[in-house]
Amino acid sequence: MTVNDIKHPGLVAWINEIKDYCTPDSVYVLDGSAEEYDRLMQKAVKAGIAIPLNPEKKPHSFLFRSDPSDVARVEKRTFIASEKQEDAGPTNNWVDPAELKKTLMGLYKGCMKGRTMYVIVFSMGPVGSEFSKIGVEITDSEYVSCNMDIMTRVGKAVIEELGTNGFFIHCLHSVGKPLAEGENDNGMWPCAPIEKKYIAHFPETREIWSFGSGYGGNALLGKKCLALRIATVMARDEGWLAEHMLILKLTNPEGKSRYVTAAFPSACGKTNLAMLIPTIPGWQVHTLSDDIAWLRYGKDGRLYAMSVEAGFFGVVPGTSMHSNPNAMIAAQKNTIYTNVALTEDKDVWWEGIGYDAPGKLIDWQGNEWVQDKTNKDQKPSSHPNSRFTAPANQCPCISDDWEDPHGVPVSAILFGGRRPSTIPLVHGARTWTHGTFLGSIVGSEITAAALDAGSGIRRDPMAMKPFIGYNAGDYFKHWLNVGKAAKDQSLLPRIFYVNWFRKTAEGKWLWPGYGDNSRVLKWIFEVCDGTAQTVDTPIGIMPTLDAIDRPEGVTEEDMKELLNVDIDGWLREVEDIRKNHYPIFGDKLPKELWAQLDSLEADLKAAKCDCGCGCGCCGK
């Protein structure tokens, strides 16, 4: 397609403005067709940055290797350029928007020379849904174009939906590596040095400007940039929620279904839960989203969640037929792999795939690699943040309503993190405010080698710390306001905190996880139905000892430990939140959350006290 096929004067003017400034050799508008995808991918193959995989093992699939400086989101180079610094808040990097645009304009000048400028008109959410948002990404990357084609709805239908005056989010991207006449990438991943990488968000004007990185969320601007950072601002202004959450459908043996969303920090099993295969006979899980959900009130007063992505951009290491068979099957064809190892027969391999490396490999940096199990210091063949990009409709457990334009009604919201101690297997909030409190204190254990080790816990409120496009204190307040806006409080989703990662003092896992997490989901389903066996505790509602079906190998003593309320551990948790977490947000932290913390501390001390004074003086 060409610019002449676009009937939106504002979009045409913007395209021409960027063309004149970035000086590409040509301009192309994506139509979203299969033929177009193949043509762009072959261009990447010809440039030496894409490798076709074995068509018998991974049909219509390709491998890319990025530059070692361009392998993940770069938080230090990610900015929220709000008009006022206070509006960016303590969890974001702020730069004055005028100053940042001046810097970026200097970098964008002539940056697309020697390349094609691609115009990607895309929809986050089903095309035509009143809840979807349209973005336009201008980029000079075939890798980005092909990934966006999988991850979003792209092309003619979206252009028609945009019409002549529809609103769209402006997304500008360049790899930041112009080519001289006759030059091509010659097998080298195009990007700019780290000090010239910028991922900039302008909340008030709904713009995203990205320069210098060609990888993942830095460059696929529909993902974290639009669907979370800019969308959180739009959600605040319009009264809904944009969240880093999976959506799944849980169906019991009688055929009754409930929808669950869940927000976990990285490396806590979000994709595995989204595609879970239950170990309880008769129960089923179907996937609607593995990463992002937008939640709004429906006409019936319930919160509805909509999946806004059309594909999965999943972390590869550790993914196997044991941990996530549905993801493995989804990525068997029509998939883009990034930074995994290549086998001699042009298949892919990575650490944690479930079998030994089949002979000599080429690692993610293009070097020969032979597995040596005796060498604990051997560098991995695949980058820890290596990825697969696969169409969602290839997932065997994709729900038949995953593209419902109205979304699906949510019964439960889960928060969780990786905590080997203190936090029990599951506990539930008493109210929406209590649930917001639980989400605000989410954390995961980190190693002592981490620069920000502090107490040993990295707090990641609602698993959203890197993705909130405005002041996090105001974000908490917005969560509380959304709860208050419910016409009927009884229709609000129940909120739970889960922890699959409890260990014994000797380091043994207490809970098997994976498919057995369905046993916890079953109890949550029953809570929502009003049929669960529960007990009230200082930290919230919890299962009775026999309320959750125990998996094989989990003893009654294990279950007691998994469901134990560790009073001293929780009091340390309260102290850490009070000293190291909540003060970060200053006077923006809602008073309701301080009150929840005070109430938790009082309940814990009362539970510890035998003499009735409630101060915890005598212990148990």
In a domain, 304, yes or no: yes
- Give domain status of residue 351, yes or no: no
The yes-or-no answer on residue 528 being catalytic is: no
Q: Is 316 inside any structural domain? A: no
Percent of the chain whose pLDDT exceeds 70: 97
Same-domain check for residues 497 and 600? yes
**Residue written as tokens 């207490």?**
510
Q: What is the pTM of this model?
A: 0.96
pLDDT tens, 463-480?
999 999 999 999 999 999
Q: Which residue blocks in 249-375 are alpha helix, DSSP H?
A: 270-274, 325-330
Q: 248 and 224 in one domain?
A: no
Q: Please name the helix (run of DSSP H) or strand (run of DSSP E) that holds residue 151, with its range, or none.
A: helix 142-151
Does residue 506 share a domain with residue 546? Answer: yes
248: DSSP letter: E
DSSP lists the bridge partners of residue 135 as 122, 169
Strands 169-174 and 62-64: unpaired
Which helix (H) or strand (E) is 102 found in, with range?
helix 97-108
What are the contacts of 106-111 at 24+ separation with CB within 8 A? 107/176, 107/192, 107/196, 107/198, 107/211, 107/212, 108/21, 108/22, 108/172, 108/174, 108/211, 109/21, 109/22, 110/22, 110/23, 110/178, 111/22, 111/140, 111/174, 111/176, 111/177, 111/178, 111/211
CA gap 218, 408 in Å, rounded: 29
pLDDT above 70 for 405? yes
Residues 543 and 557 in one domain: yes
Q: What is the mean pLDDT of the chain?
A: 95
Q: 282 by DSSP, 3-state: which?
A: coil
Mean pLDDT of 345-353: 98
Does residue 503 sit in the same domain as residue 586?
A: yes
Domain holding 538: CATH number? 3.90.228.20
- Among 3-7, 43-47, 119-123, 448-452, which is the least confidently predicted range? 448-452
Q: Is the dihedral of CA 155, 161, 163, 166 positive or negative?
A: negative
Average pLDDT over residues 239-261: 98
- Tally the C-alpha atoms within 13 A of residue 378's C-alpha that lie toward its C-beta: 14
Note whether 156 and 296 are same-domain residues.
no
* Count of beta carbons in the 10 Å neighbourhood of residue 518: 21
Domain boundary among 204, 238, 272: 238
- Domain end call among 202, 218, 238: 238
179 and 284 part of one domain: no
Between CA 500 and CA 510 the distance in angstroms is 9
The whole-angstrom separation of Cα 613 and Cα 206 is 55
What gap in Å lies between CA 515 and CA 277, rounded to an integer? 5
> What is the Cα–Cα distance from 134 to 169, expressed in whole angstroms?
6
Strand pairing category for 494-498 and 387-391: unpaired
Helix spans in 152-276 (H): 156-162, 216-219, 231-238, 270-274
Give the end of a domain, one of 209, 238, 267.
Answer: 238
Examine residue 55 and state whether it is found in any structural domain, yes or no. Answer: no
pLDDT band with cut points at 50, 70 and 90 for residue 610? low
pLDDT at 609: 77
Range of the domain at 474: 243-310+400-608
Query: For residues 84-116, b (16+ Cβ closer than 10 Å) or e, as one string?
Result: eeebbbebbebbebeebbeebeebbeebbbbbb
pLDDT per residue as tens digits for the range 66-98: 999 999 988 999 999 999 999 999 999 999 999
Q: pLDDT band at residue 445, thresholds of 50, 70 and 90?
A: confident
The verdict on 278 and 174 lying in the same domain is: no
Q: Which tens digit of pLDDT belongs to each residue from 490-526?
A: 999 999 999 999 999 888 999 999 999 999 999 999 9
Which of left, alpha, beta for 322 (phi over 0: left; psi -120 to 50: alpha)?
A: alpha
Residues 395-410, mean pLDDT to the nearest whole number: 98
Q: Are 256 and 234 within one domain?
A: no
Asked if 372 and 363 touch (Cβ cutoff 8 Å), the reply is no
Selected catalytic residue, list 268, 395, 397, 528:
268
Structure tokens at 66: 């990025």
Query: How far apart are alpha carbons 99 and 108 in whole angstroms?
Result: 14
* In a domain? residue 163: yes
Are 435 and 288 part of one and the same domain?
yes
Q: Compute the distance between CA of residue 196 and CA of residue 580 in angstroms, rounded to an integer.
A: 33
d(CA 115, CA 138): 12
Provide the b/e sequence for 423-449 (b: ≥16 CB within 10 Å).
Answer: bbbbbbbeebbbbbbbbbbbbbbbeee
**CB–CB of 187/65 below 8 Å?**
no
**329 within domain boundaries:** no
CB 3 within 8 A of CB 119: yes
The residues facing 199 across adjacent strands are 78, 210
From the CA atom positions of the chain, what is the Rg in Å?
25
Same domain, residue pair 85 and 15: yes
Separate counts of helices (H) and strands (E) for the chain: 16, 30
Number of domains in the chain: 2
Distances 373 to 340, 343, 363, 370 between C-alpha atoms, Å: 18, 18, 16, 10
Per the CB < 8 A criterion, the answer to whether 200 and 79 are in contact is: yes
Q: How confident is the model at residue 569 (pLDDT cuts 50, 70, 90)?
A: very high
Residue-level pLDDT at 267? 78
Q: Are residues 247 and 230 in the same domain?
A: no
Compute the distance between CA of residue 210 and CA of residue 200 in angstroms, rounded to an integer: 6
pLDDT cut 90: percent of the chain above it: 93
Q: What is the CATH number of the domain that holds 193?
A: 3.40.449.10
Look at residues 349, 345, 344 and name the one whose alpha carbon lies nearest to residue 364: 349
